[in-house]
Homo-oligomer: A and B are copies of this chain.
Amino acid sequence: MGAIKNTQIVLADRPVADIEPKKTFRIQQVSISDELGPNEIFVKVLYISLDPAMRGWMRDIRSYIPPVKIDEVMRSSDVAQVIKSNSPAFKAGDLVRVSCGWQEYAVVKVSNDVFKIETFHGVPPSTYLGVLGLTGLTAYFGLHEVGEIAKKGGPNCTVVVSGAAGATGSVAAQIAKHVFGCRVIGIAGSNDKCDYLVKDLGLDVALNYKSKTFFKELSAATPKLIDIFFDNTGGDILDGCLRRIAFKGRIIVCGAISTYNDVAPKGPAYYSALITQRARMEGFIVFDYAKQYGKALEDMSRWIKEGKLKSRETVVHGIENAPDALVSLFKGDNTGKMLVKVADEDSTKSKL
A contacts, CB < 8 Å to B:
56, 63-64, 234, 239, 253-256, 259, 264-285, 288
Contact = CB atoms under 8 A, between A and B. Distances in A.
A279 B255 CA distance: 13
Contacts of A255: 275
B253 A272 contact: yes
A269 B276 contact: no
Q: Interface majority SS on A: helix, strand, loop or mixed?
A: loop
A263 B275 CA distance: 18
A88 to B, nearest CB: 34
Given A281-B281, A281-B282, A282-B281, A267 B276 contact: no
Given A280-B282, A281-B282, A269 B275 contact: no
A19 B299 CA distance: 56
B276 A271 contact: no
A270 B267 contact: yes
- A253, A256, A277, A288 interface centre (most CB from chain B within 10 Å): A253
A274 B267 contact: no
B283 A278 contact: yes
7 contacts: A256-B272, A267-B271, A274-B282, A275-B284, A275-B285, A280-B280, A280-B281
Contact of A271 (B271, B272, B278, B280): B271
Nearest to A65: B276
A269 B272 CA distance: 14
Contact of A274 (B253, B270, B273): B253
A333 to B, nearest CB: 23
Contacts of A276: 56, 63-64, 283, 285
Nearest to A265: B269
Given A280-B282, A281-B282, 17 more contacts: A63-B276, A64-B275, A256-B275, A264-B269, A265-B269, A265-B272, A267-B267, A267-B269, A267-B270, A272-B283, A274-B281, A274-B282, A276-B283, A278-B282, A278-B285, A280-B280, A280-B283
Nearest to A279: B283
A272 B279 CA distance: 17
Nearest to A53: B275
A282 B271 CA distance: 10
